[in-house]
Amino acid sequence: MTVLARRRSGTGFWAALATPGTLWLVALYLVPSYAILAVAFGNIDPILRTPAPEWNPLAWDFSAMSNTLGRVFGGNLGHVFIRTAKFVLAAEVGCLLIGYPVAYYVARSAKRSRGPLLALLVLPFWISYLMRMLAWVNLLQTDGYVNQVLGWLQLGGSRNWLDGDWPTVVMGLIYGYIPFFILPLYAALERLDGRLFEASRDLGASKFSTFVRVTLPLSVPGLMAASVIVLLPMCGDYYTNTYLTGGSPRTEMVGNQIEFFLRGSSQPQTGASLVIILMGFLMVAMAYYLVTIARSQRAGARP
């Protein structure tokens, strides 16, 4: 068999191996995405007031999207997007402050206990996100354990956490998504070459200086990956606000508006349009991440 024939055979093998994943991606991402477009640019059944998707792109009606864009950039929906951005940014900062020390300790310091610690980090994935939020509802009751501990520490203890306060939503987002932040960051920190730290110490650098000058810059790609991974679900989250604040209008997020328009109103086109707008914002964040990573890889490959 010639070299060219072997290469073609290998290419065909990997293409066949990728076929199930490709079909899965088409069935569960591309088709639903097109369905959202069909609903956003389609019509509404005049009797049932349910969406009537328009599958033909040539017949799409963009009036609902235009109206929704006007409400986002100059109307009442703009405040919801801004509030969502604030909540997500605060939750990202919380994940960073809590998650980075944990990931650093597991990756660089905890050698004997690394296995059990990783098991504890993976444990939340075995429990439904909904169930974990419902558990926090009990903990945050006026007579729940959170207020009992705060009272024991003489830090209050009579606060109604479930009365539509934004710290409750941010805390719920941090708790719900921090495992997604820690694990990719741990993977990035664990792959760092230990010889770099030895060289830094041999040159007289302190532990703090080594962290600031070596560890932190090298962990930036992992930080960005972890941030993007939690950013995507946080922006569309609606369970957290619904269960931890009773769906209070003061803490309403974009996901709550999407759920309302798609399930609780006769304007499904507006809900689908909000999904597309949110996807557009997230694609900008993803593009920035991909461009930044590509630049860092090119810079690292230079002699």
- pTM here is 0.85
For residue 235, the domain's CATH number is 1.10.3720.10
Give the number of other Cβ atoms within 10 Å of residue 177's Cβ.
27
The verdict on 87 and 150 lying in the same domain is yes
For the CA atoms of 57, 38, 252, 229, the dihedral, rounded to the nearest 10 degrees, stands at -80
Q: Which domain holds residue 33?
A: 16-61
d(CA 62, CA 50): 18
Model confidence band, residue 7 (pLDDT cutoffs 50, 70, 90): low
Burial class (CB in 10 A: 0-12, 13-18, 19+), 13: exposed
The verdict on 185 and 277 lying in the same domain is yes
Q: Is the pLDDT of residue 88 over 90?
A: yes
What's residue 79's pLDDT? 93
The verdict on 34 and 147 lying in the same domain is no
pLDDT digits (tens, 9 = 90+) for 230-277: 998 999 888 888 888 887 888 899 999 999 998 878 888 999 999 999
Number of structural domains (the chain) is 2
